[in-house]
C-alpha cells in the first residue's frame, strides 16, 4: 500500500505527460535551450567589457 501511495503522483504525471506530448504540438526543449544559450553568448560578446592591458609607465 505504501508503494502505490508514494508513486501515485509520479505515475499520474508520467501518464499525463505522455498524453500531452502525443496530443499537442510541444516544442523540442533541447532546441529551445540551444537557441537561448546561443543568444546569451552573443549578448555576452556584444556587451562584454574590454580587457585593458596594464600600463608599463616605468620603462627606462
pTM for the model: 0.47
Instruction: Note the pLDDT of residue 59.
Output: 59
pLDDT tens profile 13-49: 999 999 998 999 888 889 999 999 999 999 998 888 7
Dihedral angle at the C-alpha atoms of 17, 20, 23, 29, nearest 10 degrees? -90
Which DSSP category does 28 fall into?
P
Model confidence band, residue 4 (pLDDT cutoffs 50, 70, 90): confident
The answer to whether 20 and 26 are in contact (CB under 8 A) is: yes
CA 34 centroid distance within chain: 8
The domain ranges of the chain are 2-40
What is the rounded CA–CA span in Å between residue 13 and residue 20?
Answer: 10
Amino acid at each position: 500500500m505504501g508503494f502505490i501511495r508514494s508513486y501515485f503522483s509520479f505515475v499520474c504525471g508520467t501518464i499525463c505527460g505522455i498524453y500531452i506530448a502525443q496530443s499537442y504540438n510541444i516544442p523540442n526543449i533541447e532546441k529551445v535551450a540551444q537557441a537561448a544559450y546561443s543568444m546569451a553568448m552573443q549578448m555576452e560578446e556584444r556587451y562584454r567589457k574590454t580587457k585593458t592591458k596594464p600600463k608599463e609607465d616605468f620603462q627606462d
